[in-house]
Chain A
């Protein structure tokens, strides 16, 4: 049984339909990347999975249970977390408070998890009381990851974690993602930086115009000349 199985999702904003029936699956502990040109519906797919927009048709199964169309605040209780592409931190809250919000639904004592996050992201540890809005772009991305990891999810949905980062930061973000995956968290990744992302991935999907275009093992996609020409920048 797949950890997450998305079948024939149709979704969009208002009257505008973006996804015309997309299907993907991800197994426990794996990294899966979705690539595709701008406007192909990659981010929309993540939003539809997480309930930020309601799918018009199709089904989302997580750990065998139907979560189609559930509100995000309900979805997060099922053990999957989501890091949006932009505005993915609470800028006026302190770094510590951001992590507390990540653990909002936990009723147990999460202080140990908090310390683990500061160990994993040492940049944040020294600035616990600072407002998150004062962080640099790379640090914000780290905080966004840490916030989502507070719940120790089985699956993490990441929307373009390297977007807008300085090239020097991109490598360390991917390094963290790999580290997170090694600790047992499955990751569904949407990336512009397709080459880097596919290197980490066991499986990849290519979306185009809101439809499945192609799917294969990560390295096969990397070596596929058509994919390279169209989506990997030559």
Chain B
């Protein structure tokens, strides 16, 4: 591989790592800052990707899309073509976040009042259901064949061989904006309530905060970020099908990234995305059975276990924002006499 090939490879690698970093930010809002156990990231991933793809992909060719009737030329149908596809890209991105937010509202409303593990089960169920619906309802998004020819963002601005650089700049910018947004939110009084809920829900409730509302807001916020991640993925790979949203690549790996990087730390979330994606893509260059894709399953699982057992804080543990005097450690809350 020559130099330009290597640079091209690294650019492609970085785009995916940045997209995963966006998911990690969303998951960090859920788990790292509020303690919400979402194991259905794949569902929000799929919803974000499909929403954006359906809104931007041009009118389908009836020869290639057999039963597919919905979406595609929606902008044209609404007479918005003059906005240009690139403005549509942003509207589609917002729509992806919105759809995920609405689904999160529904799931959260049902489960966030109950024991915390109900949320896990419900997110797992919705992710599987979304995948199965997209797989079997061919009218919706072409079923198992998936959607392809998803348009490039600012596709005509640069020549195709330089497109990846442009897209990398775009995803990095969006990651940066989201990072600032999450950081601001977490350091605000709102974010401090979230952390209080994570540390000790009963006390937070007792101090007059509506814990359910805060949890719901956090869940919707994180899910919206995941929707944006899904949309960015769709415009990067420019092809989505239900197999893309297998729990391994769309849920478990993101968990491994956050756990490795350090939950409760946004820099850690981004670092974890790069490290784990590096390990993940790196193993294909290993010799013999080590490059067996199935081994990556074992590795992802063991990585999560190892972090929990050996380094619960991850590589970068949580930044302490509160003063050291008022610091309490999680798990020491029981002071009954």
Contacts and interface: CB of A to CB of B under 8 A. Distances in A.
Indicate whether A and B are direct neighbours in the complex (CB within 8 Å). yes
Interface of A: 13-16, 18, 38-44
B337 A14 contact: no
A18 B332 contact: no
5 contacts: A14-B329, A15-B332, A18-B337, A39-B337, A41-B337
Given A13-B332, A15-B332, A18-B337, 11 more contacts: A13-B334, A14-B329, A14-B331, A14-B332, A14-B334, A16-B332, A16-B335, A18-B335, A38-B337, A41-B337, A44-B337
Nearest to A42: B337
Contacts of A44: 337
B336 interface: yes
A43 B336 contact: yes
A40 B329 contact: no
A15 B337 contact: no
Contacts of B335: 13, 16, 18
Contacts of A38: 337
A40 B337 CA distance: 8
Contacts of B332: 13-16
Nearest to B330: A14
Interface in B300-337: 329, 331-332, 334-337
A18 B331 CA distance: 16
Contacts of A39: 337
A73 to B, nearest CB: 20
Interface of B: 329, 331-332, 334-337
Contacts of A41: 337
Contacts of A18: 335, 337
A13 B337 CA distance: 10
Contacts of B331: 14
A24 B277 CA distance: 60
Contacts of A42: 337
A44 B334 CA distance: 12
A38 B337 CA distance: 8
A14 B336 CA distance: 12
B186 to A, nearest CB: 25
Nearest to A15: B332
Contacts of A16: 332, 335
Contacts of B329: 14-15
A41 B335 CA distance: 10
Most chain A beta-carbon contacts within 10 A, residue among B334, B336, B337: B337
Nearest to A40: B337
Contacts of B337: 18, 38-44
A36 to B, nearest CB: 10
Nearest to A16: B335
A201 to B, nearest CB: 21
A39 B332 CA distance: 16
A39 B334 CA distance: 13
A44 to B, nearest CB: 5
A42 B335 CA distance: 13
A13 to B, nearest CB: 5
A16 B327 CA distance: 12
A14 to B, nearest CB: 3
B334 to A, nearest CB: 5
A42 B336 CA distance: 11
Contacts of B336: 43
A44 B335 CA distance: 9
A76 to B, nearest CB: 21
A16 to B, nearest CB: 6
A211 to B, nearest CB: 14
A156 B43 CA distance: 56
A41 B337 CA distance: 6
B202 to A, nearest CB: 15
A154 to B, nearest CB: 26
Contacts of A15: 329, 332
Contacts of B334: 13-14
A20 to B, nearest CB: 13
B87 to A, nearest CB: 55
A188 B335 CA distance: 22
A94 B335 CA distance: 31
A44 B336 CA distance: 8
A146 B332 CA distance: 33
A188 B329 CA distance: 33
A158 B329 CA distance: 31
Contacts of A43: 336-337
Nearest to B328: A15
Nearest to A41: B337
**Which of A14, A18, A41: most chain B Cβ within 10 A?**
A14
A215 B178 CA distance: 63
A177 B334 CA distance: 30
A58 to B, nearest CB: 17
Nearest to A53: B334
